Structure 1
Amino acid sequence: MIKISIVSYSNTIPFLYGLNKWHFNNEINISLDDPSTCAKKLISNKVDIGLIPVVSIKMIKDPKIISNYCIGADGSVDTVCIYSDIPINEVKNIFIDSDSETSVKLLMILLKEYWKVQPNLIRIKIKNEVLLQKKSTALVIGDKTFSLKNKYKYVYDLSSIWKKLTGLPFVFALWVTNKNFDNKFLSQFNLALSFGVKNIQEAISFFDYKFNYKANLEEYLNNRISYDLDVDKKKSLTYFLEKLRVNGF
């Protein structure tokens, strides 16, 4: 049995649909986890494949990227944002959602190179809905952002800011393993992911009972999330990881 850890956000609905509908003959077992747990499970060999935050790759022994699909965005993503009632240049403290280290590292780069400010970063575990005190600021990621729409005066989309800074899309998570799989399985795995990405409306309908959010998922999955790990995303990934190295983040 091949154990797979997938991020439990709605942006993975196409992947889940493809893996559920493809003919794996009970070869796979899927667990839904937050991004940091996906990485921890792969690092500790509790799973064989993980959809993990890109900054976690360096923590894995002999990592292999096994798919041409990812969780990415080319411009605004809507679900990795800073929410605040004051402008970013006046912010003293930012509460940061610890679910994904990639988003935190991206924020650190943008604070230094785009906004050129140095607020304190305070790690917290943000629940399904975060209620911020007046003049407080938070980085919130994933489906938790759906309930925050139109509630704050300032919303800074980190993927959009990265695009302004670099001219490139951004990659949040990749399909990674530290095991060796035969080409037949890897081919079927990628065909399953492709099937899901090409049938987003059917995927949304299939999981409607599970992802019951007041959000336009069809718009979000088709026009905000970008699933192909193309040349520009690979270039962006290399550039992002180099930025982390140079800055010591």
Structure 2
Amino acid sequence: MRIGAVVYLNTCPLVAELPRIAPEVEIVFDVPSRLAQMLAQGEIEAGVVPSIEVARHPDWQVVSNACIASRGEVKSVKLFSRVPMAHIQLLALDEGSRTSAVLAQILLHQRYDIRPQRTSLPLRFSAWESSADAVVLIGDRAIQSPEDGFCEVWDLGLEWVRSTGLPMVFALWAARPEAD
């Protein structure tokens, strides 16, 4: 059996013991967007995948209550803006993201009634290499990106909680219907 896990540090608690308790399982590490694609194409049978993808694939089964979530600041999912948030016209979305890309758009629409044009930010590019008004970054890139020089920076986990009062689930364990 092949399963997928997010390549970032926050997935370690979800997979650390798997080699010991299920040595026959092959773990494939990748960014969330690629894991979702792999699960959809049957390249993996289960994985820690973006929560938005479970909504997009109603046949997928949530197989655990273990997840990547926050009740506030998460530090690894951020929106960096060169202009006031209300004035964003072009939004660059981290190519590795699915849930956070949608989350940023939801928050911008709810707060400012805007729907910026979107473009992709390739994994090899930093926020500084994008000409977009604002950039969504996840994982190590979000943690390591300096905030200096940006007009506003949102931690999307914190902003979701402020907006809804609810925790934000970024990724969760899901499986294809035929998985054991």
What TM-score bracket applies, with the shorter chain setting the length?
A: 0.7 to 0.9
- Matched letter for residue 149 of structure 1: P
- 1:3 equivalent in structure 2: 2
Maintained 8 Å contact 1:85/1:134: no
User: Partners in 1 of 2:21 and 2:128 — Cα distance?
Assistant: 43
Maintained 8 Å contact 2:6/2:48: yes
Structural mapping, 1:146-185, within 5 Å = 146-153=143-150, 154-178=152-176, 179-181=178-180
Aligned to 1:171, what secondary structure does the other structure show? strand
Correspondent of 1:136 among 123, 133, 136: 133
User: Partners in 2 of 1:59 and 1:166 — Cα distance?
Assistant: 22
Maintained 8 Å contact 1:129/1:147: no
- 1:127 equivalent in structure 2: 124
Structural mapping, 1:56-135, within 5 Å = 56-60=53-57, 62-127=59-124, 129-132=126-129
Larger radius of gyration: 1
Maintained 8 Å contact 1:51/1:176: yes
- Matched letter for residue 4 of structure 1: I
- How far did 1:128 drift? 6.0
Q: Which has the higher strand share?
A: 2
Aligned to 2:83, what secondary structure does the other structure show? coil
TM-score w.r.t. structure 1 length?
0.65
Which 5+ residue runs of structure 1 have no aligned equivalent? 182-249
User: Partners in 1 of 2:165 and 2:14 — Cα distance?
Assistant: 27
> Deviation digits for residues 38-75 of structure 1, max 9, x if unmatched?
11111111111111111212444632111110011111
> Deviation digits for residues 4-53 of structure 1, max 9, x if unmatched?
11111111122232223x332x3200111111111111111111111111
Maintained 8 Å contact 1:83/1:138: yes
- 1:222 equivalent in structure 2: none
Which 5+ residue runs of structure 2 have no aligned equivalent? none
CA RMSD of aligned residues (A): 2.1
> Deviation digits for residues 48-104 of structure 1, max 9, x if unmatched?
111111121244463211111001111111111111232212322221113222111
Maintained 8 Å contact 1:49/1:176: yes
Q: Which has the higher helix share?
A: 1
User: Partners in 2 of 1:37 and 1:79 — Cα distance?
Assistant: 18
TM-score w.r.t. structure 2 length?
0.88
User: Partners in 2 of 1:10 and 1:85 — Cα distance?
Assistant: 28
User: Partners in 2 of 1:58 and 1:16 — Cα distance?
Assistant: 23
- Please state if 1:145 is matched with 2:153: no
Distance of aligned partners of 1:32 and 1:180 in 2 relative to their CA distance in 1, 3 Å threshold: closer
